[in-house]
Amino acid sequence: MRKRFIAFVPLFAITLWGCGPGEKFAEVTGVVKYKGTPLTAGRVAFMGADNSVGASDIQADGTYTIARIAPGMAKIGVTPPPAPIVNPQMKGKGGVPGREDDVKNFTAPTASKVKLPAAAGDPDKSGLSYTVTDAPKQTHDIEIK
């Protein structure tokens, strides 16, 4: 038992190292818009100054929340939701495998009909960025043109 404890202590110390009070992270929230209209789905990713990545799904009202990102310049990428997977063998039944009852009552998830520029999804090419400050909570709306 003592050997396990002795082996655990250094591992625990290494785990806590880097989680000290000197490190600051921020929560960034906002609205994602394309040509002035909020996106209703998709994903936002912030690539932080320390090369960490924070990501968030875009909610139906266009909002997002990156829960933890380091202060400094962050590059931003925005991707649309993937198209729904449809089973071609279920043609005429909603494209969804399952019982007939399930198929009749199934509403397939719809992907955003907005086609974003391909570069928007690549933080290095999107031209979108934000300087994250030391404030624990901040707001940054994203406008894709």
- Which pLDDT band, with edges at 50, 70 and 90, does 86 fall under? low
pLDDT of residue 50: 85
Its domain, for residue 141, covers 18-80+115-145
- 62 and 23 within one domain: yes
CA distance 88 to 65: 36
Residue 110 phi/psi, 5° resolution?
-105, 135
- 31 and 46 within one domain: yes
pLDDT of residue 94: 53
Instruction: Quickly list H helices, the chain.
Output: 2-16, 100-104
For residue 122, being part of any structural domain is answered with: yes
- 71 and 87 within one domain: no
pLDDT of residue 89: 56
- 100 and 34 within one domain: no
For residue 13, being part of any structural domain is answered with: no
- DSSP state, residue 80: P
User: For the segment 113-123, what is each residue's pLDDT rounded down to a tens digit?
Assistant: 678 999 999 99
Whole-prediction pTM = 0.68
For residue 56, being part of any structural domain is answered with: yes
